[in-house]
Amino acid sequence: MISDRLEDNATEILIGGLTTPPEMDNDTVDEDRRALWAIYESSSYAILEQMNREDFSDIYNILKTDITEREIVHQKVFIDKYLVEMEKIYEFEFQAKLEYSTPRTIRSMFKFVEFVEYDNVTFLRYVWSISMKF
């Protein structure tokens, strides 16, 4: 279940991104881009806040497309943020610097996120079955 704090913070980010500051003329603001950016920021925040929680997969699968439909550079920024949070939460850091800047490598990184957070049963079964042979 999503906490009220998460819901409030994600909504605040979304509304803040959609609101045109009074000093700006609505005609000069590319409202579609602002809306997409607000959705991206709100979804990124909500996903990162759910890391290492039971309902991560639910939130992630609902909001993931808000990130994966953005340009590669924005997807990379999300992955960068995920890796920073991963280091804090799981106390894990890759020894080598990862390179992920192509669509294929970015997709692999999203698969990695899924593996770490919730989609690791198949892998663990495989490892367990091998270890049982010894």
pLDDT in tens, 49-90: 999 999 999 999 999 999 999 999 999 999 999 999 999 999
Task: Kindly tell me the burial class for residue 60, based on how many C-beta atoms sit within 10 Å of its own C-beta (0-12, 13-18, 19 or more).
Answer: buried
Tokens representing 46 are 């909500």
Least confident among 12-21, 73-82, 115-124: 12-21
- Position 22 scores a pLDDT of 58
pLDDT of residue 56: 95
Between CA 17 and CA 13 the distance in angstroms is 6
Return all residues near 69 (Cβ < 8 A) that are at least 6 apart. Answer: none
| pLDDT at 131 exceeding the cut of 80 | no
pLDDT confidence tier of residue 123, bands split at 50, 70 and 90: confident
According to the model, what pLDDT value does residue 69 have?
Answer: 95
Q: How far apart are the first and last CA of the chain?
A: 41
> Which whole number is the average pLDDT over 94-101?
90
pLDDT over 90 percentage in the chain: 54
Flag whether pLDDT at 7 surpasses 90: no
Domain total of the chain:
1
Alpha carbons within 13 A on the beta-carbon side of 75 = 22
Tell me what pLDDT residue 33 has.
82
d(CA 45, CA 25): 28
Q: What is the pLDDT of residue 16?
A: 58
- The pLDDT of 1-28, averaged and rounded, is 57
The residue range of the domain holding 91 is: 4-133
